[in-house]
Amino acid sequence: MNSDLRQYRSMCFQNLPRKEYFEGWYYKQVSPDQRTVLCLISGLSVHQGKVSPFIQINYTQKIGDIWHQTTDWLDFPALHAQDEPFMIQLGENRFYRDGVSLAYHGERMQVYGTLAFHDAITPPQSIWAPTMMGPFTYLPGMECIHSVISLSHTLVGSLQINGHSVDFTKGKGYLEKDWGSSFPKRYVWMQSNHFAQEGSLFFSWADIPMLGTFFQGYIAHLYYQGKHHRFASYTRGGCKLQAVEHGVEISLTNRDCSLQISATQTVGAELFAPYRGEMIHTIKEGLYGQLSFCLKPRGSSQPQIDQTEMAGIEFVWDKGTPQGG
């Protein structure tokens, strides 16, 4: 399988034959006025032979100067999937590579309408790094496999959310995918495509089990001013991560440049995450965190600095607070 096909097919329903298994697609939509964020997590979990399809919603709206965050969950009897063109269907809800069509009626959230995605910015690919996970893409049996499908894309359309119409046209979206058996025991995840200049930043750090032990793996990808920058366990560099109050400070290097990241999580809503195939682990995800970065190319005295207050951020310190990576 060539690198282009492997990245392209990561969006498709993998449906790996594991006794304990999950698969989920993460669709994030932000309105053009940056006052509404709607995250849709569609997927399924498998535990002891029971297959449980679902949609989970994380919704945040700014009313005046105050953010209000709501989550909801809805089970479905079946998940239907096709590869070409890609589509998964849960009830009357359909998720595509380039859009969504929703008829979601839950206990706390009702969402109806369609959105189309345009001008997607996708991560660069190579044989060495066919997906964001680099050469780890080729390893079988990984606990959690991750793929970023779209670093950023523009939105067209509107949705009826809890009886109110929200126009997402000219807003921005983000799309990623996870599958495996469990989320890592410790991890940091953050993402934003709402900087002063056009750009998108993704970062993930986690304890990764392998051969009976753990190693700390990391991936950072910054797309900024038309250029891609990758920092990862497989790119001949380093990562130092220091926990601070309500946030983290991260220092990354590769052969070409260094990247400093500072992130502060705001109040997060509780979501369910997979543990051995069951969606029973509780995490907190904030959708309007503060995130800043400083990119310094080697040999240059002019760093690129930007910041945002529209970042999705998750911290999970189940085994303690890390001091380095």
- Which contiguous run of DSSP H or E holds residue 3? helix 3-9
| d(C-alpha 32, C-alpha 150), whole Å | 18
Q: Is 15 domain-assigned?
A: no
- What 3-state class would DSSP assign to 277? coil
Q: Is 322 domain-assigned?
A: no
- Which contiguous run of DSSP H or E holds residue 4? helix 3-9
In the chain, the number of structural domains is 1
- What pLDDT digit, counting tens, does each position of 198-213 carry? 999 999 999 988 767 7
Q: Is 13 domain-assigned?
A: no
Length of the chain: 325
Q: Is 182 domain-assigned?
A: yes
Q: Is 202 domain-assigned?
A: yes
Has residue 228 got a pLDDT over 70?
yes
Q: Is 90 domain-assigned?
A: yes
- Check if the beta carbon of residue 131 is closer than 8 Å to that of residue 122: no
Q: Which two three-digit tokens encode residue 188?
A: 């940091």
Q: Which two three-digit tokens encode residue 100?
A: 């969504």
DSSP for residue 137: G
Boundaries of domain holding 106: 3-8+20-317
Q: Is 248 domain-assigned?
A: yes
pTM above 0.85, yes or no: yes
Answer with the residue of higher pLDDT: 42 or 324.
Answer: 42
Q: Is 324 domain-assigned?
A: no
Distances 293 to 15, 195, 223, 285, 316 between C-alpha atoms, Å: 37, 10, 12, 20, 21
- Check if the beta carbon of residue 90 is closer than 8 Å to that of residue 42: yes
pLDDT of residue 318: 66
| d(C-alpha 296, C-alpha 256), whole Å | 9
| d(C-alpha 210, C-alpha 111), whole Å | 41
